[in-house]
């Protein structure tokens, strides 16, 4: 995508957008979230690190899926966990 980010982000051709604006793991346990992120490997939408359960981070570390996109309306950025790379698109 952008030069100088990381191989994971560079390999993304089309950014996956959220199918639903909710954290599916928080919905299961009746928890609240702050912001939402969409995994660019599998498309799941989960909550951010400002949320009590940090499901997007747990998913990235547990599954090995490296890159998330913001699922917030109006925000257009990608973040790679292993490379700590942040790219706006
Ligand atoms: Zn990366
Ligand atoms: Zn969550
Ligand atoms: Zn994933």
* 46 alpha carbon, closest ligand: 2
Mapped onto helix, strand or coil, the DSSP state of residue 9 is helix
Beta bridge partners of 80: 67, 85
Mapped onto helix, strand or coil, the DSSP state of residue 39 is strand
Has residue 57 got a pLDDT over 80?
yes
What is this structure's pTM? 0.93
| Ligand 2 center to 3 CA (angstroms) | 31
**Average pLDDT for 60-70:** 98
**Average pLDDT for 10-23:** 96
* 22 alpha carbon, closest ligand: 2
Q: What pLDDT sits at residue 4? A: 61
Has residue 29 got a pLDDT over 80?
yes
Has residue 5 got a pLDDT over 90?
no
* 39 alpha carbon, closest ligand: 3
Q: What pLDDT sits at residue 28? A: 98
Angstrom distance (rounded) from CA 39 to CA 25: 13
Mapped onto helix, strand or coil, the DSSP state of residue 66 is coil
Instruction: Confirm if 67 and 8 have CB atoms less than 8 A apart.
Output: yes
């Amino acid at each position: 995508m952008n030069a100088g980010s990381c191989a994971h982000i560079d390999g993304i051709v089309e950014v996956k957008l959220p199918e639903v604006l909710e954290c599916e793991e928080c919905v299961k346990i009746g928890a609240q979230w702050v912001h939402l992120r969409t995994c660019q490997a599998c498309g799941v939408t989960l909550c951010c690190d400002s949320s009590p359960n940090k499901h997007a981070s747990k998913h990235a570390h547990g599954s090995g899926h490296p890159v998330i996109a913001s699922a917030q309306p109006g925000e257009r950025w990608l973040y790679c966990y292993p490379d700590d790379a942040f790219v706006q698109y």
